[in-house]
Amino acid sequence: MEVYLDNSATTPVCTEAVQAMQQAISVTWGNPSSMHRIGLQAEHLLNQCRATVAAGLSCLPGEIIFTSGGTEANNLAVLGTATARARQGCRIITSSVEHSSTAESCAELASRGYDVVYLGVDHTGRVKEEDLAAAINRDTILVSLMAVNNEVGTVQPIDVIRRMVRRAGAPALIHCDAVQAFGKLPIHPQQLGADLLTVSSHKIHGPKGAGALYVRNGVKISPILFGGSQEQRLRPGTEPIPAIAGFAAAVAAIPDHTQAFNHVTALRDRLVAGLQAMPGVFINSPSDALPYLTNISVPGLPSEVMINFLTERNVHVSSGSACAKGSKSRVLQAMGLPDSYVTSALRISLSRLTTWQEIDAFLYALAEALATLLRR
């Protein structure tokens, strides 16, 4: 049996998305910017897809900008805001545990002279609200925090940011990287108080190569790419209709959040109970983390060794963010975990398609790894 527990890296593509992509490739293959019938058919499909993704976020279709994925959307949100609001201030606030696409965009801004504040986190990986409030001043033009951490599953306090920005009298836009939250939690940008919000197709059983940035109606940001009028000139270039069609189909296929959440929570509880029964295994994720993601460490057994052992038994997990392959986890370091935990970390991430059998197979393989590798 093949056991796949690396869903935070990417999810298997659902049947609905595959069918939508096949239709787009074979039938609606025109350029949506062309004015003839074949192009207009593609444009009609593009509009339908935009409306579907917008419905999934409870926003307007015109507030959805399609991108190539979460990384591009985060870059557009951070760099686009900084350029558009440069005359209003220069402070950017983010956290020390953001995805690399946000972290490196902020680092680029720091190199240009922007005042970038990296908020620390507590031992659970959560930003302290008092630190966030203290950091926001009248010079703040952007606050960018992820909804759910992609390595340990910590849920960040996005819903309090708007109140803090208003209290400080700041001109700041609020950006939320919701890549790990969308499809698992009800995500409504307006309720969160977000001006900009990032989602990605391949985290919700859609294809790679598509994502979206929600841009609240009336908010102006600057493009970071140039050369066309597509996507309100914020993302020029011919839209990849097959990928977008698959993305929209995956959004439409998202089941009732409560039912899926309860299923995954039960799987996570079984996983945690099994892990707690194994001496030498430590759980790094907080108890109130999103149940789709559990981070553990086995001090003394390097992540790479464990991953190779498990892979040989057809069990697939990761050591952390796929975009930080080979690097020590900034997240675990920011949480204050010892180096022995950081270098032995494993990320087990579930989806609504994960089965009880996969959880049990992982626990069996992990027990075998402990018995075999720790004895050497």
Q: Are the CB atoms for 51 and 61 separated by under 8 Å?
A: yes
Among 14, 49, 90, 323, which one carries the catalytic annotation?
Answer: 323
End-to-end CA distance of the chain: 27
The pair phi, psi for residue 205, each rounded to 5°, is 75, 25
Has 323 been annotated as catalytic? Answer: yes
Q: Are the CB atoms for 346 and 318 separated by under 8 Å?
A: yes
CA–CA distances in Å: residue 141 to residues 78, 117, 172, 250: 10, 12, 4, 34
* Alpha helices, H only, the chain: 15-26, 37-56, 70-84, 100-111, 129-135, 161-168, 189-192, 241-252, 257-276, 303-312, 330-334, 339-342, 356-373
Token pair 């951490």: residue: 149
User: In Å, how far from its chain's centre is CA 84?
Assistant: 24
Beta pairing, strands 140-146 & 173-177: parallel
Rounded CA-CA distance 119/138 in Å is 17
Q: Which of 189, 229, 228, 190 is nearest to 212 (CA)?
A: 189
Q: Are the CB atoms for 310 and 4 separated by under 8 Å?
A: no
CA–CA distances in Å: residue 50 to residues 28, 45, 218, 335: 15, 9, 18, 38
Q: Are the CB atoms for 161 and 146 separated by under 8 Å?
A: no
Q: Are the CB atoms for 154 and 335 separated by under 8 Å?
A: no
Rounded CA-CA distance 374/243 in Å is 45
Active site residues: 323
